[in-house]
Amino acid sequence: MSKMNPYEMFLKQVDEAAPFLNVEQEFIDILKEPKEVLEISIPLRLDDGSVKVVKGWRSHHNNALGPYKGGVRYHANVCKEEVMALSAWMSIKCATAMLPYGGGKGGIRIAPRELSTGELERMSRGFALGISRFMGTDIDIPAPDVYTTPQVMSWFLDTYEKVKGWSEPSCYTGKPLEIGGSLGRGDATARGGMYVLREALKDMGLFGKPLKATIQGYGNAGSFAHALYEEIGVTVVGASDSKGGTYNPKGLNYADLMKHKKTSGTVADYPGGDKVTTDEILQAPVDILIPAALEGVVNEGNAAKVKAKIVLELANGPTTPEADAILHEMGALVIPDVLANSGGVTVSCFEWIQGRTGDFWSEKTVHEKLDERLTQAFTEIWKIKKEHNIRMRQATYVRAMGRIISAMRFRGIWP
């Protein structure tokens, strides 16, 4: 894990892009602070009758472009700074994908696997109740993140609507189809990453060539990447989760590995591969490394050992600024999180639009709209990258910060 706190990572990323933007320092200063952060304590009644007090946060980073948008994370290590950083990255990400949103994020410090289903429901409802006055369809729209699922979104939505006394399906996204979800939301994060990767491979003259990849973090984003990327000629040879990894240089079979993960709870011990550590997954001799778990996994301690020539950041914040610089020096391309994983929030936006209009789009429509939007974002960012001869993350921040600051300038500073 990186020694740098994730919010400091965000500040450094802003500073690295700022010299390429001709804007007033006051706007950079505003972007460096979240607008407001709500901290709540949830008294959770456990099944044995005792009460555990759980801490949670919802951070509103910036809303110049529209209501705050971002997921809710359940993890034992969640802290205020992490939630603040994730909300700031959401501001950059929503601007990158040209969505009418600002950045928000939530988190609860809990290990969800230690809770029964009933405890998980009570805790989710407690969180939704605690943040209910802080959110709404035009204020703040949460969604899934690490260890939160469509079922959790259903409990959040139901609690919010019962508190308010009306139906408001677009105040949460990532819902099951039955209560207003969108087709194409499940694999949207990995699919958006695939479109962006495809464009990068085309520009690098690698599209259509056989390529190998490893995936660190075999959850929603990571496992769907395995399922989808074969479409563009990428063979996944290694994957890991919190319990360890598996590696087979000839390739891992998706259906077989998922079946194993469902029955055993982990990809480690998969009989079709050799057991490896997460570090071995990060340092494997592949073309593409896909971090899809948590922050700071590629850092100054291990960046020089990464052999992949492309790092596709499906996770948020997996590469520290120091590692970003080392990888760049080594000639590797890091496709930054705020672009690579923006498919999730983009299809969340499509779900929000469908909920507000009462419309329902086909999966084909969702895929086409996602492809069009991310291909355009990639093209514009690639151009900035080449023009200034800078890293892709810097180019992405230049474009996104430019959009947010332009909106702030029109709005003015008031009162």
Helix (H, G, I), strand (E, B) or coil at 384: helix
> 69, 105, 175, 385: which one is catalytic?
105
In terms of CB distance, is 269 or 387 closer to ligand NAD? 269
Of 332-351, binders to ligand NAD (CB under 6 A) are 341, 344
Q: Which of 34, 169, 217, 321 binds ligand NAD (CB under 6 A)?
A: 217
The candidate with the shortest Cα–Cα distance to 174, out of 351, 403, 410, is 351
Backbone angles phi, psi at 378, to 5 degrees: -60, -50
Q: Distance between CA 373 and CA 195 in Å, rounded?
A: 10
Does 173 engage in binding with ligand NAD (CB under 6 A)? no
In terms of CB distance, is 245 or 405 closer to ligand NAD? 245
Q: CB 240 → ligand NAD: shortest distance, Å?
A: 4
Instruction: Decide: 294 and 271 in contact? Cβ < 8 Å.
Output: no
Helices (H) and strands (E) in the chain, counts: 14, 12
Task: Lay out the site mask for ligand NAD across 285-314 (x = CB under 6 A, - = otherwise).
Answer: -------xxx-------------------x
**Direct distance between the N- and C-terminal alpha carbons of the chain, in angstroms, rounded to an integer:** 42
Counting residues that bind ligand NAD (by CB under 6 A) gives: 24
Structure tokens at 227: 């399922």
Q: Which of 13, 159, 220, 248 binds ligand NAD (CB under 6 A)?
A: 220
Task: Lay out the site mask for ligand NAD across 69-108 (x = CB under 6 A, - = otherwise).
Answer: ----------------------------------------
C-alpha pair distances (Å), 281 with each of 65, 226, 276, 316, 357: 38, 14, 7, 18, 44
Which strands sit side by side in the sheet containing 274-276, from one edge to the other?
274-276, 244-247, 234-241, 211-216, 288-291, 310-312, 333-335
Does 246 engage in binding with ligand NAD (CB under 6 A)? no
In terms of CB distance, is 219 or 251 closer to ligand NAD? 219
Structure tokens at 136: 């709404």
Concerning whether 105 is annotated as a catalytic residue, the answer is yes
In terms of CB distance, is 221 or 276 closer to ligand NAD? 221
Q: Which of 315, 366, 370, 400 binds ligand NAD (CB under 6 A)?
A: 315
Does 278 engage in binding with ligand NAD (CB under 6 A)? yes
Q: Distance between CA 110 and CA 192 in Å, rounded?
A: 29
| Residues designated as active site | 105
Q: Which residues bind ligand NAD (CB under 6 A)?
A: 144-147, 189, 216-222, 240-242, 278, 292-294, 314-316, 341, 344
